[in-house]
Structure 1
Amino acid sequence: MIEDKKLIENYINGNRYSADLLIDKYQNLLYKLCNKISKSKDEAEDLFQESWLKIFKNIHKYNSSQTFENWIYTICINLYRDKYNKKKRWLNIVKDYFSNENKEVEINNSTHNITPLEDLLHKEDRSSIRASLNSMEDKYRIPLILYYFKDLSYKDIADILDIPVGTVKSRLNTSKNRLKSLLKEEFYG
């Protein structure tokens, strides 16, 4: 597989096929992110398309000190902030949704013989977690998502959000405490 840097260079020099290769390589990752941070499928698809337009419009600004994946995440999240935060849109995401949730449920049901009642309770737990995450401010929720659900480092998150690493650590700590408090309130009254 051709390195991203070479594909980007080829695209800048007029090779449009390189754009197709970059899209093929990153479309699933980007679409999953768009789908998780948007409130509806239509918004996710709009954000996905707008992200690719902005990526290729600004590809000449890409700096290889950051991975291309993190760079496109940065563009996507900034577009989300610019467009959807103005409308008071909230992230709609839980850990299970970053992985292939449906396959996990199928595997768990088949290997552990989960009853329909247990499955319903599991779904209610996910719904409570989703609601708790949705009630948090984006500045706390986004670092939490990127760190725990996308397995990004503090440095990568800092680069994507354009904030200092110390701020990432502080926001992660605050978000963990807030989420813990919200979930305690939800489950234990």
Structure 2
Amino acid sequence: MDIDELIELVKLHGKSIYGFCHKLTGNKEDTDDLYQETFLKAMELRLKMDAARNPKAYLISVAVQLHRNHRRKVAWRRRIAPTFELDEAAAGVADLFSRESAPEDAVLSLELRTMIQQAAHRLNDKLRLPLYMYYTADMTVEEIASALKIPSGTVKSRLHKARMAVRKDLEVDVP
């Protein structure tokens, strides 16, 4: 794969890769870093990439590996020298209010979205990654299996378990 084909890949899949990176990291700065690192790594590995073999799944798998490596480094550093982090406020409120709907509906929708995102974020990586890949990167089960190097049946099982875990987390006990 040459540079021009890689540029075309960025044009075709850049938005979905960026959205996936944002789901993995949760904030703009880390998303920008992961997105940039993903395409830098793709530049290094461009000779190994095959445009005919689903390059989007390949780029997603590169992003997943880079994110895992980063999390491992951060965990190691925290074990050596613990630090304290501040939580960032959730973004995306403006796009909810831009739709034509009642303000109450917009608030309820934002609250539900936030609850679902928090429930998904609490899942372990084995369940969270396929869930994000399926719903945010619009990847098929086969593409996810290829990117994570696991059987498609395992992907289906993990998606099911992730949905059930999110559902259980969101259930409210009504007396």
Q: Shorter-chain TM-score: what band?
A: 0.7 to 0.9
Which string of whole-angstrom CA distances, capped at 9 and with x for unpartnered residues, describes residues 124-154 of structure 1?
1111111111111111011122223433222
Instruction: Give the structure 2 partner of residue 183 of structure 1.
Output: 170
Aligned residue runs from structure 1 range 133-144, under 5 A: 133-144=120-131
Once the two structures are superposed, what CA deviation does each residue of 1:27-80 show, in whole Å capped at 9, x if it has no partner? 222222222211221111111111111001011111356211111111111111
Instruction: Please show how residues 3-42 of structure 1 align to structure 2 within 5 Å.
Output: 8=1, 11=2, 16-42=3-29
Equivalent in the alignment of 1:5: none
Tell me the TM-score normalised to structure 2 length. Answer: 0.78
Aligned residues: 159
What amino acid is the match of 1:106?
S
Q: Does residue 81 of the first structure (1) align with residue 68 of the second (2)?
A: yes
> Which consecutive unaligned segments of at least 5 residues does structure 2 have?
76-90
Structure ranking higher in helix proportion: 1
Percent sequence identity is: 26
Look up the match of 2:161: 174
Q: 1:154 aligns with which of 141, 152, 156?
A: 141
AA matched with 1:66: R
Q: So what's the TM-score if we normalise by structure 1? A: 0.72
RMSD of aligned alpha carbons? 2.5
Residue number among 29, 33, 37 corresponding to 1:50 in the alignment = 37
State the distance in 2 between where 1:105 and 1:85 align: 38
What does the per-residue CA deviation read over 1:94-117, in whole Å, with 9 as the maximum and x for residues that have no partner?
xxx9xx99656533xx2xx41x22
Higher RCO, 1 vs 2 (CA within 8 Å, ≥6 residues apart): 2
CA distance change for structure 1 residues 33 and 166 in 2, over 3 Å: closer, same or farther? same
Provide, for residues 12-37 of structure 1, a one-character-per-residue CA deviation record: whole Å limited to 9, x for no partner: xxxx4554443333322222222221
Q: What's the offset of the Cα at 1:82?
A: 1.5
